């Protein structure tokens, strides 16, 4: 009888230990789930964690980019949209970092445009690596192309006729992709030699979408702009006469850039300007 009671006591103790262990595991799981939900609630969208959902761009802080550019010292380009600096990222990649001019554009609108542009993938378009959006500070981080812009190489003896032809064709393919082949048409509006960059093999990459216009394919009237965009000497007549801007408008700018490429110099102006 005593042995039976001893056996029953051991069984009860074993059951109690088992119940305690199961309860402990359940409590631990509840705490972990609560902690995970709390962190998710603090960071509701992937952009605040440093990446955009669709393209996994890195979101840099302003201090990171200021350090990468050594206080924004080395200017490698400048335009109406902002100033471009050369920088070295923390992973030692050399980047072209464009600091956009201050504008009234909100962060949500800025991120939406960055997200759209970031989904572009074409061998003749410059690759964007990331961005920064901290209050008034808005910056874009691109790959750095060592030979710079076509404008700086127009008089170069390295560019023979074959290379110049390849540059013209490659640029045209990049513009066609932007204007006709994207889910949302992107009208570049500022195609010029300064915005055609050359890689190590002197292959072109179209850059600077700072004045680009996103246009839905559903719109019958392509777009109207609140202000004139682009650079004198490369603007289509539609700008001058306040006509609707379409994808064909970029053909004039592309033609001007191609003429400059063949003439080994930039055009001075148009007859209608």
Instruction: Specify the DSSP element, H or E, that contains 197.
Output: strand 196-198
Tokens in use for 161? 């006729």
CA distance 251 to 261: 15
Whole-number Å distance between alpha carbons of 253 and 258 = 9
**CA atoms of 73 and 78, how far apart (whole Å):** 13
> How many CB atoms are located within 10 Å of the residue 266 CB?
18
Distance separating alpha carbons of residues 207 and 56, to the nearest angstrom: 20
As a whole number of angstroms, the distance between CA 23 and CA 235 comes to 73
Q: Residues annotated in the binding site for ATP, as ranges? A: 98
For Cα atoms 97, 223, 174, give the angle at the middle one, nearest 5 degrees: 45
The SS3 call for residue 77 is: strand
251 vs 137: CA distance, rounded Å: 33
Q: Coil, strand or helix: which one is 137?
A: strand
Residues catalogued as catalytic: 190
Of the candidates 93, 37, 109, which has an alpha carbon nearest to the alpha carbon of residue 60? Answer: 93
Cβ–Cβ < 8 Å for 87, 164: no
Beta 137-143 vs 94-100: how paired, if at all? antiparallel
d(CA 118, CA 140): 11
């Amino acid at each position: 009888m005593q042995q039976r009671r001893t056996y029953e006591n051991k069984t009860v103790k074993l059951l109690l230990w088992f119940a305690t262990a199961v309860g402990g595991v359940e409590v631990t799981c509840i705490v972990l789930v609560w902690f995970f939900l709390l962190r998710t609630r603090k960071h509701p969208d992937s952009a605040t964690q440093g990446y955009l959902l669709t393209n996994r761009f890195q979101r840099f802080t302003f201090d990171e980019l200021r350090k990468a550019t050594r206080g924004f010292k080395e200017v490698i380009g400048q335009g109406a949209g902002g100033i471009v600096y050369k920088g070295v990222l923390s992973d030692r990649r050399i980047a072209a970092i464009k600091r956009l001019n201050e504008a009234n554009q909100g962060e949500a609108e800025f991120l939406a445009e960055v997200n759209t542009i970031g989904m572009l993938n074409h061998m003749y378009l410059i690759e964007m690596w990331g961005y920064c959006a901290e209050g008034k500070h808005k910056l874009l981080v691109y790959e750095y192309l060592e030979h710079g812009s076509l404008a700086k190489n127009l008089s170069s003896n390295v560019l023979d006729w074959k290379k110049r032809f390849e540059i013209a064709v490659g640029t045209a393919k990049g513009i066609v992709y932007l204007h006709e082949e994207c889910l949302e048409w992107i009208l570049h509006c500022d195609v010029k030699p300064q915005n055609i960059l050359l890689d190590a093999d002197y292959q072109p990459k179209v850059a600077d979408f700072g004045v680009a216009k996103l246009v839905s394919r559903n719109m019958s009237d392509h777009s109207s702009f609140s202000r004139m965009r682009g650079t004198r000497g490369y603007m289509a007549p539609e700008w001058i006469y306040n006509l609707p801007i379409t994808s064909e408008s970029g053909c004039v700018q592309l033609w001007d850039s191609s003429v400059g490429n063949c003439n080994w110099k930039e055009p001075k102006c148009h007859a209608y300007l």
